[in-house]
């Protein structure tokens, strides 16, 4: 196996051994362990997690399921898809909380090495900056429509892009603040909209009626549920690194995923049955009025600030590993926000969706490889444990783990070409198996 272990140069060593409490606030410990003194309450992180799942896109997913499935079928699809999401989130989330590291930083010592982790960070950044642009377009369209299309899409996109970027600049504390405000308001508006739509319909009839549209297969539905948030699951350590315990991570994941997936999806299923259409958000907006429309539009902000936040962490890791340059995460956020906003205005993100879909298959194997390395092979357990006790990063860092890179590519190819079943799950399993076998056969002791 190539690469071997080597010590990075003096600048990198200074970064690796820097105590976490020396990091400036806007950098949010992007290249350090989060110290115990900076850990957050379970409720704080839970709100951020719920905020990522209680959004317009999640509501529309539920409506799509309801248009082609019965309530029971949609429940089964959502439950099974959620189980996949929870397993990935819990395993990586606990590792992130224990080590106090983001996904891209943790990957240095869980299967990829310095160069490999930089590539992973770049993949996260490209994917999530792209999603920032897509979600910003949704945010802008919502705000523009609320004001009777008087702003125009371009101006609305600039306003929403700048607003989101400035929030993320200030780090996790602003994600927490945003979630505390928008999550309760979004749930209230959705509840009111549901009441308005369902008050003239019999619940038992809606729950037992046949779907109003063409039938949607169970496998396809599970793929939609699992694939729709798999990238968010892989980046779970970006936020659970602030958690105080593994127990907090489990509760955050279980409550957040079930409330966000099952709760929102099943409500949307009933609404789709009531109106006989998958396009129900327009009805909800109409029923809730101007204030409700603004709140629903701002619901996109909850997930988009997470996209930009994780993207900035990935780019920070990339420049640190490849160029030995320690960028300020806050300033980088401003740059990425401008790029994402410009892409939104240019409209080229309409053609970017296919690429993002491919990334949805390429990212999951990373989770499988990291999980196998951290929990089963425990390649760097001694280094991680020793450095964790003194609050610094491990000084021993593999340049590149070629087995990890091969397993990642292999997992992606298997998931891409095997189109039946759940492609995201297929790529995770394939990447994990390939990595485990190759490490057992070729890894130098």
How is the chain split into domains, by residue range? Answer: 42-362
Greater confidence (434 vs 180) lies with: 434
Instruction: State the average pLDDT over residues 107-135.
Output: 85
Tell me the C-alpha distance between 25 and 410, whole Å.
39
Tell me the C-alpha distance between 63 and 270, whole Å.
8
Tell me the C-alpha distance between 334 and 322, whole Å.
21
pLDDT score at 352: 59
pLDDT score at 222: 85
Each residue's pLDDT tens digit, 323-369:
887 777 778 888 888 988 988 898 865 665 566 567 778 888 999 99
- Cross-strand pairs, 6: 397
Note the maximum CA span of the chain: 70
Is residue 163's pLDDT more than 80?
yes
pLDDT score at 356: 57
Instruction: State the average pLDDT over residues 391-395.
Output: 91
In percent, the amount of the chain with pLDDT more than 90 equals 28
pTM more than 0.75: yes
- Cross-strand pairs, 5: 398
Is residue 26's pLDDT more than 50?
no
Residues in the chain: 445
Q: Which two tokens stand for residue 84?
A: 């996949």
pLDDT score at 283: 63
Is residue 95's pLDDT more than 80?
yes
pLDDT score at 7: 25
User: Do residues 427 and 223 make contact, with C-beta atoms less than 8 angstroms apart?
Assistant: no
Confidence tier at 172 by pLDDT (50, 70, 90)? low
Is residue 12's pLDDT more than 50?
no
pLDDT score at 243: 95
pLDDT score at 96: 95
- Taking only Cα atoms into account, the Rg of the chain, rounded to an integer number of angstroms, comes to 22
Q: Which two tokens stand for residue 40?
A: 């957050």
Q: Which two tokens stand for residue 191?
A: 């509840």
Is residue 443's pLDDT more than 50?
yes
Instruction: State the average pLDDT over residues 128-139.
Output: 80
**In what helix (H) or strand (E) does residue 165 lie, and over which residues does it extend?**
helix 153-169
Is residue 171's pLDDT more than 70?
no
Tell me the C-alpha distance between 169 and 120, whole Å.
22
User: Do residues 387 and 411 make contact, with C-beta atoms less than 8 angstroms apart?
Assistant: no
Is residue 431's pLDDT more than 90?
yes
Work out the mean pLDDT of the chain and round it to a whole number: 81
Highest mean pLDDT among 49-58, 237-246, 295-304, 430-439: 430-439
pLDDT score at 126: 81
pLDDT score at 177: 75
28: phi then psi, degrees, rounded to nearest 5: 55, 35
Is residue 6's pLDDT more than 60?
no
pLDDT score at 315: 84
Greater confidence (136 vs 11) lies with: 136
Each residue's pLDDT tens digit, 222-273:
878 877 777 778 889 988 999 999 999 999 998 888 777 788 888 888 888 8
Does 42-362 carry CATH code 1.10.4160.10?
A: yes
Instruction: State the average pLDDT over residues 148-174.
Output: 84
């Amino acid at each position: 196996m190539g690469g071997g272990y080597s010590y990075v140069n003096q600048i990198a060593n200074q970064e690796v051994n820097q105590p976490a409490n020396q990091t400036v606030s806007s950098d949010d410990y992007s290249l350090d362990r989060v110290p115990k003194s900076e850990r957050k309450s379970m409720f704080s992180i839970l709100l951020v997690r719920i905020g990522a799942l209680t959004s317009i896109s999640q509501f529309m997913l539920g409506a799509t399921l309801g248009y082609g499935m019965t309530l029971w079928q949609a429940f089964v699809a959502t439950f099974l898809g959620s189980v996949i999401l929870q397993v990935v989130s819990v395993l990586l989330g606990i590792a992130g909380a224990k080590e106090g590291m983001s996904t891209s930083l943790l990957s240095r010592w869980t299967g990829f090495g310095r160069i490999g982790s930089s590539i992973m960070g770049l993949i996260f950044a490209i994917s999530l900056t792209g999603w920032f642009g897509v979600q910003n377009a949704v945010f802008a369209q919502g705000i523009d429509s609320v004001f009777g299309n008087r702003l125009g899409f371009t101006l609305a996109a600039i306003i929403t892009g700048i607003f989101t970027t400035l929030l993320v600049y200030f780090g996790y504390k602003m994600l927490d603040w945003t979630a505390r405000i928008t999550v309760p308001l979004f749930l209230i508006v959705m509840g009111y909209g549901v009441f308005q739509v369902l008050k003239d319909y019999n619940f038992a009839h809606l729950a037992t009626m046949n779907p109003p549209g063409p039938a949607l297969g169970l496998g396809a539905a599970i793929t939609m549920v699992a694939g729709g948030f798999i990238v968010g699951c892989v980046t779970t350590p970006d936020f659970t690194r602030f958690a105080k315990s593994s127990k907090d991570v489990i509760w955050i994941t279980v409550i957040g995923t079930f409330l966000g997936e099952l709760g929102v999806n099943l409500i949307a299923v009933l609404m789709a049955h009531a109106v006989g259409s998958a396009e129900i958000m327009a009805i909800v907006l109409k029923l809730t009025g101007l204030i409700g429309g603004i709140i629903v539009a701002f619901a996109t902000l909850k997930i988009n600030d997470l996209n930009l936040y994780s993207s900035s962490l990935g780019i920070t890791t990339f420049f640190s590993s490849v160029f030995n340059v320690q960028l300020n995460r806050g300033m980088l956020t401003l740059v990425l926000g401008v790029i994402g906003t410009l892409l939104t205005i240019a409209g080229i993100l309409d053609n970017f969706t296919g690429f993002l879909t491919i990334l949805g298959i390429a990212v999951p194997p990373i989770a499988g490889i990291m999980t196998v390395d951290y929990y089963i092979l425990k390649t760097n357990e001694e280094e991680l444990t020793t450095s964790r006790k003194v609050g610094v990063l491990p000084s021993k860092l593999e340049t590149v783990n070629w087995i990890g890179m091969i397993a990642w590519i292999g997992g992606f190819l298997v998931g891409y070409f095997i189109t039946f079943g759940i492609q995201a799950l297929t790529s995770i399993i394939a990447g994990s198996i390939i990595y485990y076998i190759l490490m057992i056969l070729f890894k130098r002791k």
